Amino acid sequence: MGKKFEVVLNAKTCKGCGICTALCPKGVLKIRPDGKAEVAEPAACIGCQSCSLHCPDFCFEIKEVSADD
């Protein structure tokens, strides 16, 4: 099995610009009705860090989860 990742999203500082949802290659992130981002498909994350690198408000933390969990 491949590596697994946990996406931690701090919605408090999210301004809802939509960059993360547009850049995520696996559709992990969705826009909430209030315009902010949410983690919709956490299991699909491949840990590419695209959201973390491009979020202008530093909302994301991508943690690698060990296979045993």
Binding site for other proteins (CB under 8 A): 10, 12-13, 15-19, 21-23, 52-62
Considering the complex, state which of residue 21 and residue 40 has its C-beta at the smaller distance from other proteins: 21
Q: How far is the CB of 67 from other proteins (least distance, A)?
A: 22
Supply the minimum distance, in Å, between the C-beta of residue 7 and other proteins.
Answer: 12
Nearer to other proteins, 44 or 48 (CB): 48
Task: Specify whether the CB–CB gap between 39 and 1 falls below 8 A.
Answer: no
Q: Using CA atoms, how far apart are residues 37 and 67, in angstroms rounded to an integer?
A: 27
How far apart CA 6 and CA 1 sit, in angstroms, is 16
CA distance 54 to 17: 11
CB of 14 to other proteins, least distance (A): 9
